[in-house]
Structure formats: structure tokens, C-alpha cells
Amino acid sequence: MAEAKRVERPLSPHLQIYRPQLTSITSILTRITGNGLIVGVVLVVWWLLSAAVSPEYFAVANAVCTSWFGDLVFTASAWAVWYHYLAGLRHLYFDAGHGLDVATAEKLGWGVIAGSVVLTILTIVIV
């Protein structure tokens, strides 16, 4: 039986030449924020459930929720809600057949990122 001659090639040549685009990054970030919101929801449900269990258990949950970790999770969750919401609006715009050219899609991507940051800051200041 003849032995096959092995050709030395890179495993993933596309990773050497591929440049991430803003539209792909915003799409991936939409999925990440959607899944990341679960952490904030779990923390809120734990806090509410602990209030129904006992005062001692609520004191523990409340200490975690009002600590720097809780502040970080709730701030990140507020940003994720705004980002996910604005990205959804952008998708509705795309689904209607508008803004599909590269220049407009990139402007909308930057708009979603900037808008989510601004709306998160406004939410923190107002609330």
C-alpha cells in the first residue's frame, strides 16, 4: 500500500488573514449580552427569594447585592439591557431591508455601542 504524502499546511489559514469587522463584533456582543443578562437575573431572583426565606438569609443576599460585586453585576446588566435593546432595534431596521450597505451598518454599529454607554450612564445617574 502506498503511503500518502503529507502536505504541511497551516491549520486555520483564514485566522491569519481575517480581520474582525465591527458588524461581526456587534453581532457576537449581542449574543454575549443576551446570555450575560442571566447573571443579573439570577442575582435579583436570589435577592427576592432570600427575602421570603428568612431575615438572616436576606441579610447575606443583600450584603452581596449591595457590595462592589453586586454593583458591578447590576451596572453590567444595565449596559447589557441597553446594548441588547439597541442591537435589536438595529436588527429590525436591517430586517426591513434598510441600512444594509457597509457604511451605514458600521455607523449603526458604533451608534449601538455609544448609545448603550450613554443610556447606561443616564440610567445610573437617574436611578
Domains of the chain: 21-126 (1.20.1300.10)
Indicate the DSSP class of residue 2.
P
First to last CA, the chain: 75
In tens digits, what is the pLDDT along the chain, a chain of 127 residues?
A: 667 777 776 666 666 677 788 999 999 999 999 999 999 999 999 999 999 999 999 999 999 999 999 999 999 999 999 999 999 999 999 999 999 999 999 999 999 999 999 999 999 999 8
pTM of the model: 0.82
> 58 with 50: CB under 8 angstroms?
yes
